[in-house]
Amino acid sequence: MAETVPYSEKLKKWDRMESGKFGGKAPVTTLYPFVDVEKPPEYRGIPHINPEKCVGCGACVNACPPDALIMEWDKEHGVKRLTYNAARCIRCARCIEVCPTGAMEPTTRFEIASNSKEDLVEVVEHKLAYCEECGEYLDFTERQIEYVKNILPKDVFDLYSLEDRMKLTQEEKMRKTVVTLRETEGNVYPAFVLVGESTKEKGGEE
């Protein structure tokens, strides 16, 4: 694409009067419901979730003003669902702007009217990561872990030995930290003593 067509040329494909369909001369009234038409490439149609790229981070859910995107949690089955409903969407494209993987894709689709709302729903179901030491599901998905592994350089993983700690819950991580500290330095206060002191100090200041 970089060689053949410049980017600004590509945007000019759209022909508003659809003149080719009427022998070079377009009538005043559009023939739309009887012929197919296309919207311009900048047109804001409903966004579409690409399930190949989506990691289930929920950035779009935080950004969505009318809550067309909602995250449903199901920790018992280890699943979280990203539900999108076009009936609530106002096409502000905030989700496209904030998506860190490019999974939210803008489309120029405009033929979305339907007689039931079930047709407008789009759901992506993600599997949560599982902590084998605690037997609990974590807050984030396995895809998120994989994505973070790709972002951070290998040196950082070796430095903090992140590979072993990534699939643990917060409590298990703290427990492991205390254990390693005890092994390396020998003489460390137990974790609950440190926590107790800090809360007392905060209470005194208030």
Q: How far is the CB of 61 from other proteins (least distance, A)?
A: 12
Could you say whether residue 51 binds other proteins (CB under 8 A)? yes
Could you say whether residue 113 binds other proteins (CB under 8 A)? yes
Considering only the stretches 91-99, 132-140, 194-202, report the one whose residues sit in contact with other proteins under the rule CB under 8 A.
91-99
Q: How far is CA 152 from the centre of its chain?
A: 18
Q: Which of 49, 59, 60, 168 binds other proteins (CB under 8 A)?
A: 49
How far apart, in whole angstroms, are the C-alpha atoms of residue 111 and residue 10? Answer: 23
Could you say whether residue 86 binds other proteins (CB under 8 A)? yes
How far apart, in whole angstroms, are the C-alpha atoms of residue 40 and residue 25? Answer: 20
Sign of CA dihedral 182, 161, 196, 206: positive
Phi-psi domain of 164 (left: phi exceeds 0; alpha: psi -120 through 50; beta: other): alpha
Q: How far is the CB of 204 from other proteins (least distance, A)?
A: 30
Q: Which amino acid, one-letter code, is at 30?
A: T
Q: Which of 58, 59, 114 is nearest to 86 (CA)?
A: 114
CB 73 within 8 A of CB 127: no
Q: How far is the CB of 87 from other proteins (least distance, A)?
A: 4
Q: How far is the CB of 193 from other proteins (least distance, A)?
A: 19
How far apart, in whole angstroms, are the C-alpha atoms of residue 144 and residue 106? Answer: 22
Considering only the stretches 45-53, 131-139, 187-195, 197-205, report the one whose residues sit in contact with other proteins under the rule CB under 8 A.
45-53
Which H or E run contains 71? strand 69-74
Q: Which of 23, 25, 32, 76 binds other proteins (CB under 8 A)?
A: 32
Could you say whether residue 195 binds other proteins (CB under 8 A)? no
Phi-psi domain of 96 (left: phi exceeds 0; alpha: psi -120 through 50; beta: other): alpha
Q: How many residues bind other proteins (CB under 8 A)?
A: 82
CB 128 within 8 A of CB 75: yes
Q: Which of 18, 63, 71, 124 binds other proteins (CB under 8 A)?
A: 124
Q: Which of 22, 62, 66, 139 binds other proteins (CB under 8 A)?
A: 66
Q: How far is the CB of 51 from other proteins (least distance, A)?
A: 4
Q: Which of 125, 131, 136, 182 binds other proteins (CB under 8 A)?
A: 125
Could you say whether residue 25 binds other proteins (CB under 8 A)? no
